[in-house]
Structure 1
């Protein structure tokens, strides 16, 4: 475990009660934890978060999937199907600044953990509900799954190659964006609370966020009145822009404007005729005539070594890069020098890799203060320090299966 007083933590003193599981909710809580909040993650005493059983095993109770969204948290086990477990959760909420939950519609209210109940005890509470669909609409009871929403929101329709079926994103993009949107909204509510003294109920839906991240593709579909074509690794409106094959491997080339295009033709591939051709004078024209232009460019690139191309592109001031494997990227000098991957001690695995938060404040990266927790590692300590429960009370709760 790493610990440091520098940099100062922006959310120091903020307590987050994370009642969520899987990905979108835990991701938003982790973001707040990365920024310095104390995050208490509530899990079932025996099963824990579902993702403790997803992917590669780490130690006895964690997996790579679980660890990717639960750094900088404590794990407290409570059986919320018991009255005593719910009572403890309500007591924790009274001492918290933020609650994040993604129960099925009506689930939190049934347990006495809904916004109305908790905010009546703690009017300053910022309460975040994450669901698959609008909680006030006819689909409120539908469970939300990233892949389903990727399909329903049109994201799969814009992803992949034109001659291939619709394709999902490599990661659960809707869940991850929803978690980031949720963290942003919580931060806004905390900021507003400084003026008003009252919290807010933030409501996030996966479908809403999935639709938002269609971005310029979505607007083009509305303006054109039809789905835009799929471009795979290419760009819909900038040419040449995408992944290309050099003589000995793939590289990314992003020619972003007309002056870059001219330098690309003259200085990189030695084809001034392509720079002078009026059919390719602007990005719009190059996009319209991509079927004519791109075969010429691909032919030139395929005849040259990748390293030589990257050097020429850099000299010409054109953004470019190799296409790295995932492990290669994570172990690259760039990642290592940036402190983006840390090694954390682990009581069973010895050590385990944990990604570092992406933010820097005043030149310092936010630290990994706590490795992803073993199931229930913080139960006794948190319930003692936050709620003042005695050892005898904790023993009784444990004997009855509540913790």
Structure 2
């Protein structure tokens, strides 16, 4: 098999919680040597975010930290700074998600790191970015979901504004950061120069408002809570059936005509009020009421079969058990098993990146706290006596 896609890259990971670790895990999955650096005094918070735990490790921590080595290093100590700078000299990328100004206060600004390694790429993740009036404010996914407008369009009139079920701003920021890093690596291949990257949760989540943001910017109309309905397309929402809720996603007028035929109500497909999507939007409530009553007459499985045959997109609302028992999930290797030193064997979500030659590999279990400290220090040339002394001084 070909070598890994990013096998020649070394990444120093100063991040914790989700956005940063998710980013570096993606790069680690693609073959980069990721060294996760935690303080010898304070662990990554997510190591304690449980239950559930797999032995000593929380399920939350395990979700975003495979394919990494872990060391402890006190960046406030002179010895810690010395070791970090030695690692910087040998690395390609540093990813950090401290509050804005923290790296500068540690004497580890981009300028300092650039002087050590002009090819280094520093990716900084924060709540609001390193410029602007909110740059010093802490950023938490929940707060970002609120302030970015996402919660104002999530939920319905009964529930009121609600958050997405996962920390979606963190996930999107991790993805954007990975894209930015790969872009900087590509540019460095031509220029030979590194650069700094400033990624914020706030910017990332606003970018991900996509068509809803565009609707507002073009029309000036503030969108309301639509629950499971689509702001631009009807019918495109959840419908109850005899036994289970399901989604029907009618994307165009021809699909609507076929949907009406499946419902046994072909007349809807030629009704002037419903024949085009703009008209269906105008008469959304009337049409939704008609469809809802009809959908209740059959089971979800019956509707799925009929709609599939008619070429109308649809799908059941699966719970987690149904998701991970789904044959497509298994076939696509979206559940992977890894051996773990304290939890024996663990199951993790697989990578969605399917490369034909440089395939994603599960090389390393999510590391124990400081598991590879001595290994990495030996690679830098430190002796056993020096390592023992640094441990005594709590520098590592």
| TM-score above 0.5 | yes
Which residue of 1 is the match for residue 160 of structure 2?
Answer: 165
Q: Which runs of 4+ in 1 moved over 4 A?
A: none
Which residue of 2 is the match for residue 396 of structure 1?
Answer: 389
Higher mean displacement: 121-130 or 351-360: 351-360
Matched, 1:317 2:314: no
Which residue of 2 is the match for residue 38 of structure 1?
Answer: 33
Which residue of 2 is the match for residue 148 of structure 1?
Answer: 143
Alignment of 1:295-306 (within 5 A): 295-306=289-300
Secondary structure in 2 matching 1:362: coil
Q: CA deviation at 1:55?
A: 2.4
Q: Does the CA contact (< 8 Å) of 1:25 and 1:102 recur in 2?
A: yes
CA distance in 1, matches of 2:92, 2:357: 28
Deviation string for 1:116-140 (max 9, x for gaps)?
A: 1001110000111111113122222
CA distance in 2, matches of 1:111, 1:364: 38
**For 1:231, which of 221, 226, 232 is the aligned residue?**
226
> Structure 2 vs 1, CA of residues 292 and 306 (structure 1 numbering), >3 Å: closer, same or farther?
same
Q: Does the CA contact (< 8 Å) of 1:356 and 1:367 recur in 2?
A: no
Q: TM-score, normalised by structure 1?
A: 0.95
Matched, 1:288 2:282: yes
CA distance in 2, matches of 1:371, 1:58: 15
Runs of at least 5 residues in structure 2 that lack an aligned partner in the other structure? none
CA distance in 2, matches of 1:321, 1:365: 30
Q: Does the CA contact (< 8 Å) of 2:337 and 2:346 recur in 1?
A: yes
CA distance in 2, matches of 1:309, 1:165: 30
> Structure 2 vs 1, CA of residues 109 and 169 (structure 1 numbering), >3 Å: closer, same or farther?
same
CA distance in 1, matches of 2:391, 2:325: 43
Runs of at least 5 residues in structure 1 that lack an aligned partner in the other structure? 1-5
Q: CA deviation at 1:164?
A: 2.7
Q: Does the CA contact (< 8 Å) of 1:34 and 1:368 recur in 2?
A: yes
Q: How many residues get paired?
A: 396
Q: CA deviation at 1:365?
A: 4.9
**For 1:375, which of 369, 372, 383 is the aligned residue?**
369
Alignment of 1:54-133 (within 5 A): 54-59=49-54, 61-133=56-128
Which residue of 2 is the match for residue 348 of structure 1?
Answer: 342
Deviation string for 1:244-292 (max 9, x for gaps)?
A: 11111111111111111111111x1110111110110111111111111
Deviation string for 1:30-71 (max 9, x for gaps)?
A: 111111111000012243111111123434542111111111
Which residue of 1 is the match for residue 249 of structure 2?
Answer: 254
Which residue of 2 is the match for residue 191 of structure 1?
Answer: 186
Q: TM-score, normalised by structure 2?
A: 0.97
Which residue of 2 is the match for residue 136 of structure 1?
Answer: 131
Q: CA deviation at 1:300?
A: 0.8
CA distance in 2, matches of 1:25, 1:236: 32
CA distance in 1, matches of 2:135, 2:274: 50
Secondary structure in 2 matching 1:48: coil
